[in-house]
Amino acid sequence: MHEFSIASNLIEIAAEAAGKDGRPVAVVHIKVGALSGVVPEALTFAYDIAREGTILADSKLAIQWVPVRIFCQTCNRIVDLPGIQSFACPACGNGSSDLRSGRELDLVCLEVKEC
């Protein structure tokens, strides 16, 4: 389960950032793309285990799911794909390899507790 190593890395990065401020972290906000290979439920489970005994022990993980988006040259617009099986525009049916989102695995921000 690679989600555990991802969770451990998130905690390491967040703990380092939180240590600079000195205030406890309430929420770790991340973005996860549909093509990232990450299962959100597994990552949340792994995070809950990995945070124990750290300065993030009382924190929560907030995941923002990012759909796969492509640019359709025929329609001249960015469109969300309904799934990852086909990279064809849902409006016109033309394929596109111009991927605009969906691979994200980003730590966006830390929400700290008020002292």
pLDDT tens per residue, range 76-106: 999 999 988 999 999 999 999 999 999 999 9
Which uninterrupted H or E stretch holds 14?
Answer: helix 2-21
Q: What are the extents of the domains in the chain?
A: 2-112
Chain-centre distance for alpha carbon 28:
11
Mean pLDDT of 40-66: 96
Please name the fold of domain 2-112. Answer: hypothetical protein PF0899 fold (3.30.2320)
Q: How far apart are CA 28 and CA 112, in angstroms?
A: 9
Token pair, residue 56, equals 């993030």
pTM: 0.86
The angle formed by the CA atoms of residues 28, 29 and 35, to the nearest 5 degrees, is 125
Q: 102: phi > 0 → left, psi -120 to 50 → alpha, else beta; which?
A: left
